[in-house]
Amino acid sequence: MSMGQTSRKIFSPEPLREEPHSGGSTRRSFFRRSLRWGGFFLILLFAILFGGFLRFADSVTTLKPPAQPRADAIVVLTGGYQRIDQAVELLREGAGNRLLISGVHPTTTRTQIRKMTQSPADLFSCCVDIGYDAIDTIGNAREAANWIHSRGYKSVLVVTNNYHMPRSLAELKYVDPATEFIPYPVVNSDLKTQNWFTNPNALRTMLYEYCKVLLAGVRNVFGLGRPEGLRSQEQQEAGSSKSG
C-alpha cells in the first residue's frame, strides 16, 4: 500500500451517525409529570374539601340558640312544623315584635298554620305575616329582606334547622348586609353527643347541605347563576285558586 493510499484511509471522514429521536421520550416525561402534579392537586383538593366539611359539621353540631333571644322581629324559614312552632313560641315570649313565616305554599292558609301551632287568633291577626313568594333559600332571603326593609327592622332572629343555618345566614347577609341576623337554630337531635357520622340519613343530610353551602359560596362570590327563588304571579294565582 502506498503512502498516499494510507493517508486517505486514515484521514477520510467517517459517515455521520444519526442521534436517536428524543421527541417520544420528552412527551412521555411530560405526561408522567402531568400525572404526578394532577394527582397532587386532586389529593390537595380532597383534603381542603374534607377539612371544610369537618369544620362545617363542627359549626353545625355546636350551634346553640341564644340564652335570652331578643330582636326587632323574627323570620322563620319553612321546611318543617317544628321550626314554625319554635318561632311562634318566641313571638309569644316577646323575643320579637312581629313574625314572618317565609316560603309557605300557596295552598296553605293562615288558619291552618294557626291551628297547627295552637296559637290564639289575636296573636296571628296582630303580629304574624305569611310569605307565599319564596320557593327556596334564596327566595326566603329575598322575601325576608323585602319584609324587613318595608318595616324598618334593624335586627332579626332567624329560625331554621341547625344544619340549614349556615346557608340561610349566607343568603340573608348577601341580599341584606345592613341587617343584624341572629341565628336561632332548631335542633331536631343532639348531633354533638350522637355519632351522627355513623347514621346514614344524618350523614347524607350533612353532606348534601355542605355541598349546597359550597355552591352558595361560589355563586355569591362570583354573582353568577343566582335564581330569583320566588314564585311567579301565575304560580301564586294557581296556588290560591286551589286553596280556595
Tell me, yes or no, whether 174 lies in a domain: yes
Confidence (pLDDT) at 160: 95
Tell me, yes or no, whether 18 lies in a domain: no
Confidence (pLDDT) at 190: 53
Q: What's the structural domain count of the chain?
A: 1
Tell me, yes or no, whether 105 lies in a domain: yes
Q: What pLDDT tens digit does each residue of the chain (244 aa) get?
A: 444 454 444 444 555 454 555 556 777 777 777 777 888 888 888 899 888 888 988 888 888 899 999 999 999 998 778 899 999 999 999 999 999 999 999 999 999 999 998 888 999 999 999 999 999 999 999 999 999 999 999 999 999 999 999 999 999 999 999 999 999 999 865 555 567 677 788 888 889 999 999 999 888 888 777 788 888 755 555 554 444 4
Could you tell me the CA-to-CA distances from 75 to 72, 88, 91, 142, 183 in Å, in that order?
10, 10, 10, 12, 10
Tell me, yes or no, whether 131 lies in a domain: yes
Assign 119 to helix, strand or coil. coil
Tell me, yes or no, whether 102 lies in a domain: yes
Tell me, yes or no, whether 214 lies in a domain: no
Q: Which of 135, 198, 160 is nearest to 65 (CA)?
A: 160
Tell me, yes or no, whether 89 lies in a domain: yes
Tell me, yes or no, whether 237 lies in a domain: yes
Segments forming the whole domain that contains residue 123: 73-186+228-243
DSSP-assigned states of every residue in 164-212: GHHHHHHHHHHH-TTSEEEEEEE-SS-TTTTTGGGSHHHHHHHHHHHHH
CA 40 – CA 59 distance, rounded (Å): 29
Which cell is 94 given? Answer: 316577646
Task: Please tell me the pTM assigned to this model.
Answer: 0.77
CATH at 138: 3.40.50.620
Confidence (pLDDT) at 3: 46
Angle between helices 137-151 and 165-175 (to 10 degrees): 50
